[in-house]
Amino acid sequence: MAESYNICLDVGGTKVLGSIFNEKDEIIYRLKKRSKSGGSGSADVEKVIISVVEQMIKESGIDRKKLNAVASCAPGVIDQDKGIVLFTPNLPWRNYDMAGAMRKQFGVPFFVGNDVNLGVLGEYHFGAGRGYQNIVGFFVGTGMGGGLVLNGRLFTGNQFKAAEYGHMVLDPEGPLCNCGQRGCLEAFSSKQGMSAYIRQQVGRGRKCCMADDVKEGVFRSRKLVDAMKKGDKVAGEAVDRACHWLAVATGNMINTFSPDLILYGGGVMEALGDLFLEKILSEVDRYCMPQIRSTVDIKVAALGDDSILYGDLAMIKGLK
């Protein structure tokens, strides 16, 4: 097998994670950089992406001529055929020709897809989803993404717009979401939703050890881990609220699709997966039909931070 390399990227609301895969589909180098998603345009995050790729190539010592392709996720609605990010609620991109810009920069094929679609695809081919034919994936991070495998194929719907069930409205009177609606699952159960709840409670005069961590944005997952270990009451309420609405949403998806597997991934699950899973499992049976629930497994993603990276790789390799 000729030596070649693929670079895969996970571009989120607060970070860019990069990896280099060898021809054996092994990660041989990785790099993570913080990004500021509140910039004035696409160029701010684009600079971080380019710097991650260039730094990995330089530090890993791979031959640039042996680079086969680069692939990335982006959160939001993606025209995967054209490589255009149509809309993302947590990054400053609207109708952004990401593939065009990156092909020009790197001189190799560039692929882009929805972050959680790719996370579920990665788990389906390389992780916890192997052997299942129908998977509903919830990825809990800065935002809340969804991904579906139906009858053994990633389901992306009309123009790749399906599975945005992080924006299913659970309470029309609920908190405002970045997508413009109120009461979305994301507004309750993502890091943004939990951070907003903590800010609200601190604003009412309650004490919380995470007050400074959410003052100007979202907390880092390890801060929530520390707060839970300390028994912080407000942080605990934010987690309970997040898990409650995840249980409601999970029950709805179980009734709708009768999947083989419900899969939870993303940075929050990587940090607090066992705790979140325990709380979700304690409630989910209330919100779905027992005859359907009895044939559904519920798991945390096996690849952790690498789920989306392996989904990128699957996209490069043409796996469905």
Cβ proximity of 221 and 267 under 8 Å: yes
Element housing 235 (H / E): helix 233-257
Amino acid at 174: G
Delimit the domains of the chain by residue range: 5-119+307-316, 129-302
Helix (H, G, I), strand (E, B) or coil at 9: strand
pLDDT of residue 40: 47
Which CATH code for domain 129-302? 3.30.420.40
- Quick check: do 5-119+307-316 and 129-302 share a fold? yes
Task: For residue range 77-113, list pLDDT tens digits in order.
Answer: 899 889 999 988 767 788 999 999 999 999 999 999 9
Residue 193 buriedness (CB in 10 A; 0-12 / 13-18 / 19+): buried
Q: What are phi and psi of 17, to 5 degrees?
A: -110, 125
Residue ranges, the chain, pLDDT below 50: 39-40
Which CATH code for domain 5-119+307-316? 3.30.420.40
pLDDT of residue 203: 97
Cβ proximity of 185 and 168 under 8 Å: yes
Cβ proximity of 73 and 34 under 8 Å: no
